[in-house]
Amino acid sequence: GKFYPSNPMQLKQLIDNVYNTEQDKINKSFYNKNIIGGIVPHAGYVFSAYQAVHFYDNLKNSSSKFDTAIIINPNHSGYGTGRFNTCSYDFWETPFGLLEIDKEFSDLLEIAQYNGAHDYEHSGEVQLPLLQYFYSHPIKIVLITMNQQNKENAEILAQKIDRAVKKTGRNAIIIASSDFSHY
């Protein structure tokens, strides 16, 4: 209820309205292409959804079929341990229903699990209802909160993701949740 409506009908109506407003402005050049990732803003949907729907619409209309969505987000709360954290949950619940955590993939990352890094953080979970709204294929998720954002940690995380993709054989997409700006 903080960053988007907690009522599923109100949430759907909000996304419908935003999408209808933006539909003619969306660059459709990625339709039918294989999308492997994107940088998507996070904030209250009344702000960020107007930009986020551009990525998710292209994803919906792309040739990409993935089974795991890896969502990498910054840490605004300060809760967390080490460089980055995953969570130990089995599911993440949104007004649109449950999304299963890809536990096998998450475990292979060899990243510390700390639920507090996600419980008090909006930037990863704010992507989930948009993913559910636009992407109709069965999908599991991996939420990664970056506690320290720098080039070294980005490279370490990329290597961990690459190893986990190779070991699991998953078709994965990476969604980087970003602030873009605070004004």
183 pLDDT above the threshold of 60: no
What proportion of the chain, given as a percentage, has pLDDT over 70?
Answer: 98
pLDDT tens per residue, range 110-159? 999 989 988 888 888 999 999 999 998 889 999 999 998 899 999 999 99
Residue 115 contacts residue 133 (beta carbons within 8 Å):
no
Per-residue pLDDT for 182 more than 60?
no
> For position 173, what pLDDT does the model report?
97
Residue 181 — pLDDT band, cuts 50, 70, 90? low
> 128 is written with which tokens?
């989930």
Confidence band for 36, pLDDT divided at 50, 70 and 90: very high
Q: What is the pTM of this model?
A: 0.93
Query: How far is residue 171's CA from residue 169's CA, in Å, rounded to a whole number?
Result: 7
Please provide the average confidence, as pLDDT, over all residues in the chain: 93
Burial 101-131 (b: 16+ CB within 10 A, else e): bbeebbebbebeebeebbeebbbbbbbbbbb
Percent of the chain with pLDDT over 90: 77
Beta-bridge mates of residue 92: 99
The answer, yes or no, to whether residue 21 has pLDDT greater than 80, is yes
pLDDT at 113: 94
Strands 91-94 and 37-41: unpaired
What secondary structure does DSSP assign to 51-110, as a single string? Answer: HHHHHHHHHHTSS---SEEEEEEE-SS----SSEEB---SEEEETTEEEEE-HHHHHHTT
